[in-house]
Amino acid sequence: MSVSPTANRLRQRARPLTDAELASIPWLHGLEADARNRAREALMVSEAEPGDYICRVGRPATYWLGLIDGLLKMSNDDSRGPIMTFTGLAPGGWFGEGTALKREAYRYNVQALRRSRVAGLPIDTFHWLLDNSIAFNRFVMHQLNERLGQFIAAREIDRISDPDVRVARSLANLFHPGLFPGVGQVLRITQQELAYLVGLSRQRVNQALAHWERQGAIAVEYGGLRVLDLAALRRAGSDGPA
């Protein structure tokens, strides 16, 4: 199977992680010493430009991937019908563990919405850690459980007709502290990027953000959003109209 030009570019740009980048990886510090050293030696990071594909449908998985900085979206294969965004991927998030576990080809695309630093752990090292590190197994099990909950929530969002509620629930997913620990309270995202993820126009997203700012759930800042009441975003729509 041929390798895409984007994949070649990403590999050509790959370099070892800096100490600061290693410190930002949530699962690395809890590993046993031997496992941590092996992971540190194997990890690589690359810069993805806006529009670059990190994963493509049908391509074999060679890395388990994590987002150090930037913003990604996970979507279906647009050659087989309308584009459907499954989820956004925010800083601190690692993804593709199910595909890596089964050593399968990707069933989804992952694309950079802005310039992003993407880390990769070679799939053979991923499996070595599974075989030799209890701490790594616990992290992956927790990750799979949280991911399942995220996709159940995404299915619920797809069925919501109220745009304000759609935006609130989508934001709550991006501020998930377990899946995206690098976000903290501020997510660097533009209204257009959020519109791509939610499937609404930028103008309608702007109206929804204004609504949730009036409700005290978020604060719109230059270049991003600050969450003030994550619980309010999560329960949006459950108590009637937003």
Q: Which two tokens stand for residue 29?
A: 């510090």
Confidence of residue 2 (pLDDT cuts 50, 70, 90): very low
Structural fold of domain 5-152: Jelly Rolls (2.60.120)
Q: How many residues does the chain have?
A: 242
> Which value, in Å, is the radius of gyration of the alpha carbons in the chain?
18
Q: Which two tokens stand for residue 11?
A: 């590999």
- Map out the domains of the chain as residue ranges: 5-152, 162-234
Confidence of residue 4 (pLDDT cuts 50, 70, 90): low
Alpha-helix runs per DSSP H in 49-96: none
Please tell me the class of the 162-234 domain: mainly alpha
Confidence of residue 182 (pLDDT cuts 50, 70, 90): confident
Q: What is the reported pLDDT for 189?
A: 92
Q: What mean pLDDT is predicted for residues 215-231?
A: 93
Answer whether 84's CB lies under 8 Å from 77's CB: no
Q: What mean pLDDT is predicted for residues 230-239?
A: 84
Q: Positive or negative CA dihedral for 31, 32, 37, 38? A: negative
Residue 3 has pLDDT above 60, yes or no: no
**17-32 residue pLDDT tens:** 999 999 999 999 999 9
Residue 181 has pLDDT above 60, yes or no: yes
Give the residue with greater pLDDT, 151 vs 31: 31
Strands 109-112 and 72-75: antiparallel
Answer whether 172's CB lies under 8 Å from 230's CB: yes
Rounded Cα distance, 179 and 173, in Å? 9
End-to-end CA distance of the chain: 49
Q: Which two tokens stand for residue 63?
A: 């890395």
The H-or-E segment that residue 95 falls in is: strand 94-95
Average pLDDT, the chain: 88
**Ramachandran category for residue 89: left, alpha or beta (phi over 0 → left; psi -120 to 50 → alpha):** beta
**64-92 residue pLDDT tens:** 999 999 999 998 876 666 677 778 899 99
Query: Cα torsion at 175, 189, 76, 104 (round to 10°)?
Result: -60
Rounded Cα distance, 44 and 30, in Å? 19
Residue 120 has pLDDT above 90, yes or no: yes
Give the residue with greater pLDDT, 61 vs 77: 61
